[in-house]
Structure 1
Amino acid sequence: MPAAPLPIRDGLGPDRVRMPADGAARTVVEFLHAAHPGEDWAARMAAGELVDEHGRAVDGHTRYQPSRFVYFYREPAPELPVPFAVEVLHHEAGLVVVDKPHFLATIPRGAHIRETVVVRLRRDLDLPDLVPVHRLDRMTAGVLLCTTDPGLRRPYQELFERQRVRKVYEAIAPYRPGVEFPRVVRSRIHKRHGELTAVEVPGEPNSETRIELVEHAGDRARYRLFPRTGRTHQLRLHLNSLGAPIVGDDFYPQFRRRAPGDFTAPLQLLARTLEFDDPLTGQRRRFDSRRTLAFRPGDAARRASVRT
Structure 2
Amino acid sequence: MQQNDVYTPPMDPLEVLHEDLEVLVVNKPAGLLSVPGKTPDLADCLLTRVEVAFPTARLVHRLDRDTSGVMVFGLTAHAQRHLGAQFEARKTKKTYVARVVGQLEPKEGEVDLPLIVDWPNRPRQMVCHETGKPSLTEYKVVRSNEDETRVKLFPKTGRSHQLRVHMLALGHPILGDPLYAPETAAGFERMMLHAEELRFSHPESGRGIRVRAKTPF
Which bin holds the TM-score, normalised by the shorter protein? 0.7 to 0.9
Correspondence for 2:90: 163
- 1:233 aligned residue (149, 161, 166): 161
Given that 2:137 and 2:155 are in contact with CA atoms closer than 8 Å, whether structure 1 keeps it comes out as yes
Out of 211-220 and 135-144, give the one that drifted further: 211-220
C-alpha distance after superposition, 1:56-83 (max 9, x if no partner): xxxxxxxxxxxxxxxxxxxxxxx74523
How far apart, in 2, do the equivalents of 1:81 and 1:251 lie?
Answer: 18
The aligned amino acid for 2:58 is V
Structure 2 equivalent of residue 268 of structure 1: 192
Contact 1:103 1:266 (C-alpha < 8 Å) held by counterparts: yes
Gaps of 5+ in 2: 1-6
Query: Please, which of 47, 55, 58 is the counterpart of residue 118 of structure 1?
Result: 47
**Percent same amino acid at aligned positions?**
29
Q: Deviations over 1:94-116 (max 9, x none)?
A: 21100000000111122454420
**Partner residue, 1:292:** 216
Show CA shifts across 1:5-44 (max 9, x none).
xxxxxxxxxxxxxxxxxxxxxxxxxxxxxxxxxxxxxxxx
SS of the residue corresponding to residue 152 of structure 1 reads: helix
Which among 175, 187, 203 is matched to residue 279 of structure 1? 203
- Report the equivalent of 1:176: 103
Task: Give the deviation of 1:128 after TM superposition.
Answer: 2.3
Query: Which structure's CA Rg is the greater one?
Result: 1
Matches within 5 A, 1:1-308: 80-111=8-39, 113-123=42-52, 125=53, 127-176=54-103, 179-192=105-118, 195-203=122-130, 206-253=134-181, 265-293=189-217
- SS for the counterpart of 1:176 is coil
2:22/2:203 contact within 8 Å kept: no
Residues paired across the two proteins, number: 208
Offset of residue 255 of structure 1? 8.5
Q: Is the 8 A contact 1:186 1:205 kept in 2?
A: no
CA distance in 1, matches of 2:135, 2:103: 22
Contact 2:22–2:204 under 8 Å retained in 1: no
1:110-168: per-residue Cα shift (whole Å, max 9, x none)? Answer: 24544201111111x1x222122111011100000001212321011100000000100
Question: How does the TM-score come out when normalised to structure 1?
Answer: 0.62
- 1:302 paired residue number: none
Runs of 4+ in 1 over 4 A off after TM superposition: 253-256
Query: Does structure 2 retain, via aligned residues, the 8 Å contact 1:121–1:130?
Result: yes
Paired residue type of 2:24: V
